[in-house]
Structure 1
Amino acid sequence: MESSRACRGRRAHPPRSRPLLYGALATAVVLGSTAAGTAYVKARAHSGMRPVSSTASPSPSPSASASASAAASEEASVEPAVRPTTDYDALLASAMKAVDVPDGAEVSVAVLDLDSGSGATYGEGAFDTASIVKVDILAALLLQAQDEGRELTAAEKSYATAMIENSDNASASELWRTIGAAEGLNAANKRFGLTGTSGGDGMLWGLTQTTAADQLRLLRQVFGADSELSEASRTYLRGLMERIAVDQRWGVSAAADGSAWALKNGWLPRTATGLWDINSVGRVTAGGRDVLVAVLSDDNTTQARGISLVEAAAVAAVSVFVREDVSASASVSASATVSS
């Protein structure tokens, strides 16, 4: 499944104003009358200030009147303070400083807190999808079936289960043909809002090019409410991603609390270089928050090192929104398949 690699770029509240008080005071200054003084006393009582005797209070001097008017003007001009915004991209970049990225390897991360709707990205450029494209293939199939007003056939469901849960390549190839290969994938992705993903040539679906930001957009189609996919389609796809084979339960799941995750991983050794593409996408629950994460990497010297990089990046990304420590407890099974 090798071909020439596509090029990649690497308030404060203002004090309560007292217009009645200052209006009465101004009237007392101008008229100097008993009625105006009485209005001033009533205004103080209405404003909650300590009452004063209307007969004992001297008329304010012109300078005092000017000061009171200035104070009133100053009070009226106070504006609510602007609430500062959070730069999540900067927070993610800071968190990624703790991630050991081996020399020569590249990594890109995109993360979204479903509770707040805030997100961040780190890194750029296009990467080979390897088997994470299988989520995209099934999403495209479900969208086509919706358009046709039909359910998936028994055969399609069988292929979908094997393709997602076990990362079966033959099943992926069958559904790749069903959706119309790259043309069908690209058409679905246009509706999904993916702008940096292009289907692989011929039957080379694993060499589909994508970005971390696009994978996050796809995850929102699967796990979000605002989606081209129906609720039934989203529930079906999510269910498969929650039942990944035991030997493939690594990647973004490292940032989850226990088994509260849904994912799809991709791993591909490049025969021309001997280096590995290692990717992981999905939803994790940590600290009571649901977070979508997409981590893409390439040029890893070994599969194990690539997995470690992806897991560390996922933990760093989730930490931006989950303030307590999250445990990276996933381990790599010795029986993991060599390629997917």
Structure 2
Amino acid sequence: MNKRPTIADVAALAGVHKATASRALGPSTSALVNAATARRVRQAAEQLGFTPNSAARSLRTNRSFTVGVLLPDLTNPLFPPIVRGIEEALGPRGYTALLANTDNDEAKERAGFDALRGRQVDGFIVATARREHALLDRARAAGVPIVLVNRRTDDRLLPWVAGDDATGMTLAVEHLAGLGHRAIGHVAGPSSMSTGVIRAQAFRAAAEAAGIGPGAAPVVESEAYTVAAGERATRDLLDRYPATTAICAGNDLIALGALRAARARGLRCPADLSLVGFNDMQFADEFQPPLTTVHVPHLDLGAEAARLLLEQLDSNEEQGTPTPLAKTVLLPVRLVVRASTAAPRGGG
């Protein structure tokens, strides 16, 4: 059996000192090496088939160079871009993301969290946050490095990266009011999640600013961010407020459910009912009709969350004690107007 090549072999082939070769191949130290030298070392490593020994690196640095990522639903199209952003930010630093899907189930979340901690991950990026979240409270108290993405807890004691939900919902209401709609409903996300609450609050404020009273701007809560839950909530809204000419949905999956509920009643979109989603998930432009929605930069959310976690890990290493950096980063959003919205029949 051929002997596995070592860093010493790479250094010899590249004609450099072993320490120089090690620095050239280290994601966080390669910039310290002359570019031409680093390129020669990388070529030597590739020629020999050398791969760094991650276990040895972990022993040297007291880091596993892995990050746990808790996701509520891998089938939801908004989460793969977030994960990709996380991986794109972690990769250059030599980190690997380990994923755990929770299905929004607290027991599965605890099991996934514990399993990842058992693998000695250096920290967590969490997309499963509920407004009140005992697991995250305990983890924070224990000094576990954590960054929240997309959702946050009410206490705001953990770093959090999200799209500007309030501005996004305001843009949606202003768009519909500008088209002439005066009876606009909101099928909101679950009130147990910050996204549901923030978007609902923004909807009410924007409707009031547009001169639309509460009776003409009803809010009905969807029990989940799913197509089926959105369909049920939309049926409820249209039963109670049949004069509604437009709906702002809590997210694109809820919007798809709303579209199904409207069609079941013989309502055409947008001729009888205009519809705005939230997230601009993949294939939203393939809906029939293509969905007007708020675009959230999910890949950037993931990348920024990873950068915040790396910043926290670096700070902890320098100071020797965990120092949670309770930063809030809101990334800009924009309204993407497609064919699911139009002026109401008869001028509203």
TM surpasses 0.5: no
Structure 2 length as normaliser, TM-score? Answer: 0.22
Q: Give the structure with higher Rg (CA).
A: 1
Structure 1 length as normaliser, TM-score? Answer: 0.23
